[in-house]
Amino acid sequence: MIEEVTIPQSESPCAQPGGGGPLTYAFDRSEFWRTIPTWRDVDTETFGDFRWQQRNSVTSIQGIQEALGELARPALIADIEAGLLKTPMNVRLTPYIFSRIHWGNVEADPVRRQFLPLGSQFVPDHPHVMDDSLAEDSNKATPHLTHRYPDKALFLPITLCPVYCSFCTRSRVVGGSTAVKSKSTYGAKSNEWDATFEYIRSRPELEDIVISGGDALLLRPSQIRQIGTTLLEIPTVRRIRFATKGLAIMPMKFTSDIEWVEALGEVCQLGRERMKEVALHTHFNTDREITAWTSSAMKALSETGVRVRNQSVLISGVNDGFDCLHYTSKKLSSLLVQPYYVYLHDMVPGCEHLRTTVDRAEYLSRRLQGSIAGFNTPRVVCDAPGGGGKREISSYTLYDREIGVSAWTSPTAKPGEIFYYYDPIHRLPEDGQALWANEAEIKRRLAKFKAEAMAKAEATRH
Residues in contact with ligand SF4 by the rule CB under 6 A: 161, 163-165, 168, 170, 174, 213-215, 245
**184 to each of 58, 122, 172, 369, how far by Cα in Å?**
22, 25, 9, 42
Minimum Å gap between C-beta 100 and ligand SF4 is 15
Minimum Å gap between C-beta 153 and ligand SF4 is 17
Closest to ligand SF4 by CB, 26 or 315: 315
Minimum Å gap between C-beta 196 and ligand SF4 is 18
Q: Do the beta carbons of residue 408 and residue 395 sit within 8 Å?
A: yes
Closest to ligand SF4 by CB, 47 or 167: 167
The H-or-E segment that residue 313 falls in is strand 307-314
CA distance 89 to 172: 9
CA distance 410 to 385: 11
Q: Do the beta carbons of residue 251 and residue 297 sit within 8 Å?
A: yes
Closest to ligand SF4 by CB, 110 or 213: 213
Minimum Å gap between C-beta 52 and ligand SF4 is 20
Backbone angles phi, psi at 320, to 5 degrees: -90, 20
Minimum Å gap between C-beta 68 and ligand SF4 is 22
**377 to each of 14, 207, 339, 359, how far by Cα in Å?**
18, 25, 6, 19
Closest to ligand SF4 by CB, 169 or 409: 169
CA distance 244 to 280: 7
Minimum Å gap between C-beta 315 and ligand SF4 is 11
Question: ∠ CA 100-104-105 to the nearest 5 degrees?
Answer: 85
Closest to ligand SF4 by CB, 343 or 399: 343
3-state DSSP assignment of residue 108? helix
Closest to ligand SF4 by CB, 294 or 410: 294
